[in-house]
Amino acid sequence: MNATFAQRRRALQAQLAATGLSGVLSTNPADWYYLTGFTGEAGALLISRTGSALVTDGRFTVQAKEETSAIRVVRQESSLMASVGNWLHGRVSGKIAFDAGQITVDQFRTLRRAAGPRVRLTAARGEIASLRQRKEPGEIEQMRKAAVLAGKIVTAAFKLLKPGVREIEIAAEIEYQMRSRGASGPAFETIVAFGARSAHPHAQPTEKRLAKNELVVLDLGVILAHYCSDITRTVFLGRAPARIRRFYRAVQEAQAAAVAAAQAGVTCGEVDATARRVLTRSRLERYFVHSTGHGLGLEVHENPRVARGQKHVLAPGNVITIEPGVYVPGLGGIRIEDDVAVHAGRTEVLTRVPRDLIEI
């Protein structure tokens, strides 16, 4: 695996040279793992054209040396940005890109002061993100396993849905099943929403008890060997009325159309528009209150975004979610979500759970 990490760093270094940058700085743990294999919780990674340094505090220096290869591990002696700047001072000159979303104004000032006048800090243009969004075959294989595991867990959760059970109980059992089946944990806080609460797209589990003739939205994902999955299924406790069936059918058709549209060479905005056109025909588009999907990988939300107007052109190696939904206040919500890998000439749905309406 170290060879892969080294290859990724070399690809980034070539990209830096082509854009005139001397280096790029990241404080995102997902970036550290992607480029070095380091799994610690604190630090900063600098990749320059001539080498790489990982600055971390005393809790993680031994771990960093064990997990990485051909990376200089620098022990943090003062604040993180002061330590990064002190290491840069006199060693690196030119433009160093950083993600403005990762560093506060105070940290930026500390870094600039410590790095000295030969270092010019500039906002990053997605140098690392552009590499991460094109998954390698080994990454897709791992994500396939994570998606299959998420599918098994959501299927098992269907059997727990009975009148009187609480949302929080179902969420706890789901997350227990994740770890007992080999995941390191949830990719995000598990969403379990009953009845009218299912109209909240990101509802947090509560003490609410399930009643007959209610919608249930289950949205969960696992982290398996560092990679995330994300799946949503909507079920009905009882016999669904005609209105619910019509809404469900529209969401199902919108999702199928968007999955079919998610081909190499198609923009993310076009995929989003495809889902919206189907819901518009059913006069439900106003109830679709979020984007159609997002990138997936070492983080549950990463590039590319599958949303209105997004110009990113899908390419082989992109892995995205497709998750249209309708949310009717006072009634409930319906969402169907799958993980989709884009290959040359084809699309692969990684999550493998039936999408038809399930009535319990």
Domain extents in the chain: 2-132, 137-359
When pLDDT is averaged across residues 83-97 and rounded to a whole number, the result is: 94
Give the model's pLDDT for residue 50. 85
- How far is 202 from 211, CA to CA, in rounded Å? 20
Record the pTM. 0.94
Give the model's pLDDT for residue 2. 61
pLDDT tens digit string along 215-242?
999 999 999 999 999 999 999 999 999 9
Give the model's pLDDT for residue 22. 95
When pLDDT is averaged across residues 172-191 and rounded to a whole number, the result is: 98
Instruction: Label residue 272 by pLDDT band (50, 70, 90).
Output: very high
- CA-wise closest residue to 223 among 190, 191, 182, 180: 182
**In this structure, CATH architecture of domain 2-132:** 3-Layer(aba) Sandwich (3.40)
- How far is 150 from 223, CA to CA, in rounded Å? 9
pLDDT of 275 over the 70 cut:
yes
Residues of the chain with pLDDT > 90: what percent? Answer: 96
Instruction: Label residue 109 by pLDDT band (50, 70, 90).
Output: very high
Structure tokens at 174: 């789901």
Higher model confidence: residue 250 or residue 50? Answer: 250
Structure tokens at 175: 């997350």
138 Cβ contact partners less than 8 Å away, ≥ 6 residues apart: 4
Bridge partner residues of 121 (DSSP): 96
Q: Tell me the C-alpha to C-alpha distance, in Å, between residue 282 and each of 32, 177, 285.
A: 45, 37, 8
Give the model's pLDDT for residue 124. 85
Give the model's pLDDT for residue 238. 97
Give the model's pLDDT for residue 125. 79
Yes or no: say if 321 and 296 are a contact pair by the CB < 8 Å rule.
yes
Instruction: Label residue 3 by pLDDT band (50, 70, 90).
Output: low
- CA-wise closest residue to 351 among 166, 165, 174, 153: 153
- How far is 238 from 245, CA to CA, in rounded Å? 12
**One CATH from 3.40.50.10490, 3.90.230.10, 3.40.50.720, 2.40.110.10 for 137-359:** 3.90.230.10
Residues of the chain with pLDDT > 70: what percent? Answer: 99
- How far is 163 from 258, CA to CA, in rounded Å? 34
Secondary structure of the chain as H, E, C letters: CHHHHHHHHHHHHHHHHHHCCCEEEECCHHHHHHHHCCCCCCCEEEEECCCEEEEECCCCHHHHHHHCCCCEEEECCCCHHHHHHHHHCCCCCEEEEECCCCCCHHHHHHHHHHHCCCEEEEECCCHHHHHHCCCCHHHHHHHHHHHHHHHHHHHHHHCCCCCCCEHHHHHHHHHHHHHHCCCCEECCCCEEEEHHHHHCCCCCCCCCECCCCEEEEEEECEEECCEECCEEEEEEECCCCHHHHHHHHHHHHHHHHHHHHCCCCCEHHHHHHHHHHHHHHCCCHHHCCCCCEEECCCCCCEEEEECCCCCCECCCCCEEEECCEEEECCCEEEECEEEEEEECCEEEECCCCCCCCEEC
- How far is 128 from 156, CA to CA, in rounded Å? 37
pLDDT of 151 over the 60 cut:
yes
